[in-house]
C-alpha cells in the first residue's frame, strides 16, 4: 500500500473540477464540484440515518439502484433539504450535468451541503454547468474538494495504490466535514474513486462493512446531519480480474478502502468546527468489538471530555464517567486510562482508580494537536478507535451565526 498524490483523480479514467457558480455569496469560494468517470462505473453509497433526509439523497438512491454511475455533482452553500421542490431541483441538476457530459441522468450521484430549509435556486447551477465541465482535468481533485467545503478550514483528500492479482490499482477520495458530525454518518460528504474492477454487489458490501469502523466512529458535536453520504465509484480501468466474491482480492480491496477512509476520518475530526486538537480514543481489552465501539464513541462524544481536552486538563474522571454511562458491558475495576501524544504518555488511572502522575507532564502531553486517550479494559480481545476533537469557544461562535 503506497500513498499517492491526486485524490479522486489518482485512479485511471477519473477527472474532476470545481467552480464558483453563485450559490455562495463569497465569489472566492468554489461552490460546485464534479467528479467524472470516462466510463460507466460500479457505484455504492451509504447515507445518513437521520429520518429527515436531503432531497439529493433520495434522488441518488433511486439513480444508482442498478449499482452504476458515471458522475458525481455536488453543490455547497445550500443543503436542498426540507424544500417543497427539493426533489425537482436535484433531478434538474442531474439532467443538466448529464446533458453536458452526454450521459444518462440516472448515472449521476447528486449531493448538496449547507444551510437546511433554504430554497435552492437552480439558476446558478444551470449557469455554472458549462464552466464546470470545461474545467474537468486529471489534476483537479483539490478544486472538487474545495467545491464541497462549508465551514471546513482545510482540504481533505488522499490517494493510495495497491495490487490485485499482480495488477496495480489506485484509489482516492475527497471529503468535507467540520460540524454537525456524529455517528452514524455525520455531516460529511465523501466521494471515493478507484480503477479497480469490482462488482457493484461486492463494492456495496465493502463500503457498508468499512463504515462501521470508520465514518460511524467520528463525532465532532453530537449532531447527525440530513445530507451525509459516502459514495464510491469503481470503473475497472486498472484491468484486474473482477472481484465478485470474498477472498484474498476482496481483502486487499478492503485494506485499501480502509486506508483511505481512516485518513479521511482523521482529517474530518481534526477539522471540527473551532477545534484546536484532534482527539482519538483507542479502546482495547473489551469483551468484544461492539462493546469497544460503544465505549470509544461514548468517550469521544462526551462534552466534558472534549472541554477538558481543550483546556489540556487531565481530568480522567470524565473519561471514566463516559465509560460508565456508555451502556457497554465493562468491569470498571479493571479500567486503565492514559493520555498519549508526540510529547509523551502519562498514565492517570489503573484498576478503575486514580494514580499519582505529574500534572505538569500531563499538561505538556495534552497540549499537542493530536492526542490519544488510551482505554485498556482487561475484559477480552475487543478493540475499536473513535475520532473526535476538543470543544472550544469558537464552535459556539461559528454556529451562533452560521445561517445569518
Active-site annotation, residues: 187
Q: Which three cell numbers stand for residue 269?
A: 475530526
Rounded to whole angstroms, how far apart are CA atoms 61 and 198? 20
Closest CA to 271 of 221, 337, 236: 221
Q: For residue 337, give the nearest of 392, 381, 281 by alpha carbon.
A: 281
**Residue 219 corresponds to which cell in the numbers above?**
463525532
Closest CA to 221 of 17, 396, 101, 24: 396
Half-sphere CA count of 370, side-chain side, radius 13 A: 9
Amino acid at each position: 500500500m503506497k500513498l499517492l498524490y491526486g485524490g479522486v483523480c489518482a485512479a485511471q479514467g477519473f477527472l474532476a473540477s470545481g467552480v464558483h457558480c453563485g450559490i455562495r455569496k463569497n465569489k472566492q469560494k468554489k461552490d460546485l464540484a464534479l467528479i467524472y468517470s470516462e466510463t460507466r462505473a460500479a457505484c455504492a453509497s451509504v447515507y445518513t440515518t437521520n429520518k429527515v433526509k436531503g432531497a439529493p439523497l433520495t434522488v441518488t438512491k433511486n439513480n444508482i439502484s442498478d449499482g452504476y454511475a458515471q458522475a458525481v455533482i455536488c453543490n455547497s452553500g445550500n443543503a436542498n433539504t426540507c424544500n417543497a421542490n427539493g426533489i425537482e431541483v436535484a433531478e434538474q441538476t442531474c439532467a443538466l450535468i448529464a446533458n453536458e457530459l452526454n450521459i444518462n441522468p440516472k448515472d449521476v450521484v447528486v449531493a448538496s451541503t449547507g444551510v437546511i430549509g433554504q430554497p435552492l435556486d437552480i439558476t446558478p447551477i444551470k449557469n455554472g454547468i458549462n464552466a464546470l465541465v470545461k474545467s474537468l482535468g486529471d489534476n483537479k481533485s483539490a478544486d472538487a474538494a474545495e467545491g464541497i467545503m462549508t465551514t471546513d478550514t482545510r482540504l481533505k483528500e488522499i490517494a493510495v495504490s495497491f495490487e490485485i492479482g499482480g495488477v496495480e490499482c489506485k484509489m482516492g477520495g475527497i471529503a468535507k466535514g467540520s460540524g454537525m458530525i456524529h455517528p452514524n454518518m455525520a455531516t460529511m460528504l465523501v466521494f471515493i474513486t478507484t480503477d479497480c474492477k469490482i462488482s457493484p454487489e461486492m463494492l456495496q458490501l465493502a463500503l457498508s462493512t468499512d463504515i462501521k469502523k470508520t465514518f460511524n466512529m467520528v463525532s465532532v458535536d453530537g449532531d447527525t446531519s440530513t445530507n451525509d453520504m459516502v459514495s464510491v465509484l469503481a470503473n475497472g480501468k486498472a484491468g484486474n480480474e473482477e472481484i465478485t466474491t470474498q477472498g484474498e482480492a476482496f481483502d486487499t480491496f478492503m485494506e485499501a478502502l480502509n486506508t483511505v477512509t481512516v485518513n479521511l476520518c482523521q482529517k474530518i475530526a481534526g477539522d471540527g468546527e473551532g477545534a484546536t486538537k484532534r482527539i482519538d480514543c483507542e479502546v482495547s481489552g473489551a469483551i468484544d468489538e461492539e462493546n469497544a465501539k460503544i465505549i470509544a464513541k461514548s468517550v469521544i462524544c462526551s462534552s466534558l471530555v472534549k472541554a477538558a481536552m481543550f483546556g489540556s486538563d487531565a481530568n480522567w474522571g470524565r473519561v471514566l464517567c463516559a465509560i460508565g454511562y456508555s451502556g457497554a458491558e465493562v468491569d470498571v475495576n479493571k479500567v486503565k486510562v492514559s493520555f498519549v501524544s508526540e510529547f509523551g504518555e502519562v498514565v492517570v488511572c489503573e484498576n478503575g482508580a486514580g494514580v499519582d502522575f505529574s500534572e505538569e507532564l500531563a499538561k505538556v502531553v495534552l497540549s499537542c494537536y493530536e492526542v490519544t486517550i488510551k482505554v485498556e479494559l482487561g475484559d477480552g480481545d475487543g478493540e475499536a478507535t473513535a475520532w473526535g476533537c476538543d470543544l472550544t469557544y469558537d464552535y459556539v461562535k461559528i454556529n451562533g451565526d452560521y445561517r445569518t
